[in-house]
Amino acid sequence: MAKFTQIQAPKGVSEYFPDRSNIFEFVRGSLIGSAKTAGYQLIELPVFEDTDLFKRGVGESTDVVSKEMYTFEDRGGRSITLRPEGTAGVMRSVIEHNLDRGQLPVKVWYSGAFFRAERPQAGRYRQFYQVGIEAIGLDDPEIDVEVIAVAQRAFQKLGLKNYTLEITSLGDKESRERYTKELRAFIATIDLDEETARRAEINPLRLFDDKRDQIKEAMSNAPILLEYLTPESAAHFARVQELLNDLNIPFVVNKRMVRGLDYYTGTAFEFIHHGLGAQSGIGGGGRYDGLMEQLGGSALSGIGFGIGVDRCVLACEAEGIELPDRFVLDLFLVPLSPVAKSTALRLAERLRKSGLRVDIAYGDRSLKGGMKAADKSGARFSLVIGDDEIASDTAALKDMKTGESLSVKMSALEENLQEYFGQTIGTLGER
């Protein structure tokens, strides 16, 4: 018989499986929970979109579009791209489904896998996971600060401390026009290779995002956008800083920050973790006034962020934060006979409907084998069911931490759990 070669996951894919998947789930849930408390609602987006969406929305001068997208032709001859980021897809959906014609701002959150053809390394993957939010329709500095505060609260909930919030303003259209004229004049004095010069011609701000030492050194004396803000942009950015101080959210102004996507304007921010090495950004975002209009919608502003779930997991591990690394079962049933197995299955389903997490020792196991499985499961309680227990409707409920056992009626197990442990089924089902 032929021996088949083992197939492995593609290189650069972030993959989570038990028990580490429980850490991933906890981190992702904490990020989503912070968004929900601020009134953001779920938007579930396609994993692939028309390629033009990202070319027009993200910008052809960006590394994301020019180098990193997974683009292919489908069977109908259409150019399709696996989503490299979330904001463009959200805006397309808002326009297509007329969400901008209702109450503003439109406040949505999303989560899922995103794809970029990057060189894999620690914290940088070709398939990675994000949680993002978008607030669309109003140009208020208060909305800017709310978005930043959602991320800050999520990081605090996880227990993260070793990070810095960096903020800047990329100005309005008038600010950028004035600044771009001066920046292009400066760039003309730098000796650039053909590809870099082409990118700079499309968007000169991209050179601030170049990681090569010679380009970073050359741009160290470039003019700063913050010095070219219109009075309106400067006032907006000053108000953002005032509100952050009012909420006791510490920050530093990074005068040379640019985001990696062309649609950003006005307020921009990034959370930098100091324990992750080169891939230090755990989340960031900013305002994107003009993006909706560029994608065929109305002239509404918006702001949002994307938080890297993978990097948040790494950040928690770097800080030694204890996260739940095991799935928590409430009850593990150990049946000792064929009849007991049927009884255990009925009991498990009844309890699961009540919100409890219940598992069973499947297979023909002895008492010793069943209790060993119960111990390995990490369940809070175990219940052994044999023919005698079925006949008497009475079994011993064992606390797996203390080893103590209590005699309970199986037909009234929910009530017994409430009586003996002083909790409702709902709270018992929580972690």
Q: What is the pLDDT of residue 420?
A: 55
How many domains is the chain built from?
2
Q: What is the pLDDT of residue 429?
A: 38
| Separation of alpha carbons 233 and 161, rounded Å | 31
Lowest mean pLDDT among 57-71, 233-247, 261-275: 57-71
Give the 3-state secondary structure of residue 334. strand
DSSP string, 25-64: HHHHHHHHHHHHHTT-EE----SEEEHHHHHHHT-TTSHI
pLDDT of 426 higher than 80: no
Task: Using a pLDDT cut of 90, give the percent of the chain over it.
Answer: 63
Q: What is the pLDDT of residue 394?
A: 93
Q: What angle do CA 140, 150, 100 make, to 5 degrees?
A: 50
Residue 227 CA, chain-centre distance (Å), reads 34
With a CB cutoff of 8 Å and minimum separation 6, the contacts of 377 are 329, 332, 359
Indicate whether this model's pTM tops 0.85.
yes
Q: What is the pLDDT of residue 211?
A: 76
Whether 305 and 349 share a structural domain: no
Whether 31 and 59 share a structural domain: yes
Q: Are 405 and 399 in contact (CB under 8 A)?
A: yes
Q: Is residue 190, in this structure, part of any structural domain at all? A: no
Among candidates 431, 302, 326, which has minimal Cα distance to 377? 326
CA dihedral 260, 262, 267, 272 (to 10 degrees): 0
User: Quick one: pLDDT band at residue 418, thresholds 50, 70, 90?
Assistant: low
- Range of the structural domain that residue 107 is part of: 20-172+230-318
Q: Is residue 345, in this structure, part of any structural domain at all? A: yes
**CATH number of the domain to which 83 belongs:** 3.30.930.10
Q: What is the pLDDT of residue 424?
A: 43
Question: What is the maximal distance between C-alpha atoms in the chain?
Answer: 92
User: Quick one: pLDDT band at residue 110, thresholds 50, 70, 90?
Assistant: very high
Whether 165 and 42 share a structural domain: yes
Q: Which among 318, 342, 360 is the end of a domain?
A: 318
Mean pLDDT of 257-274: 84
Lowest mean pLDDT among 101-110, 216-225, 332-341: 216-225
Q: Is residue 163, in this structure, part of any structural domain at all? A: yes
Q: Is residue 87, in this structure, part of any structural domain at all? A: yes
Q: Is residue 194, in this structure, part of any structural domain at all? A: no
Whether 49 and 71 share a structural domain: yes
* Averaged confidence pLDDT in the chain: 90
Give the 3-state secondary structure of residue 145. helix
**CATH number of the domain to which 341 belongs:** 3.40.50.800
Whether 57 and 157 share a structural domain: yes
Q: What is the pLDDT of residue 300?
A: 92
Q: What is the pLDDT of residue 427?
A: 44
| Separation of alpha carbons 371 and 198, rounded Å | 68
Among candidates 29, 243, 306, 271, which has minimal Cα distance to 160? 271
Tokens encoding 394: 């009475």
Whether 297 and 344 share a structural domain: no
Whether 149 and 244 share a structural domain: yes
Cis (ω within 30 of 0) for the bond into 105?
yes
| Separation of alpha carbons 380 and 400, rounded Å | 6
Q: Is residue 132, in this structure, part of any structural domain at all? A: yes
With a CB cutoff of 8 Å and minimum separation 6, the contacts of 357 are 327, 328, 329, 330, 331, 429
Whether 276 and 385 share a structural domain: no
Q: Is residue 274, in this structure, part of any structural domain at all? A: yes
| Separation of alpha carbons 73 and 76, rounded Å | 8
Query: Between 283 and 427, whose confidence is greater?
Result: 283
Q: What is the pLDDT of residue 419?
A: 62
Give the 3-state secondary structure of residue 15. coil
Whether 150 and 294 share a structural domain: yes
pLDDT of 423 higher than 80: no
> Tens digit of pLDDT for each residue in 303-327?
999 999 999 999 999 999 988 777 7
Q: What is the pLDDT of residue 263?
A: 76
Mean pLDDT of 33-50: 97
Whether 314 and 335 share a structural domain: no
Q: Which among 295, 318, 341 is the end of a domain?
A: 318
Q: Which among 318, 343, 362 is the end of a domain?
A: 318
Q: Is residue 2, in this structure, part of any structural domain at all? A: no
Whether 25 and 164 share a structural domain: yes
Whether 243 and 104 share a structural domain: yes
Q: What is the pLDDT of residue 425?
A: 44
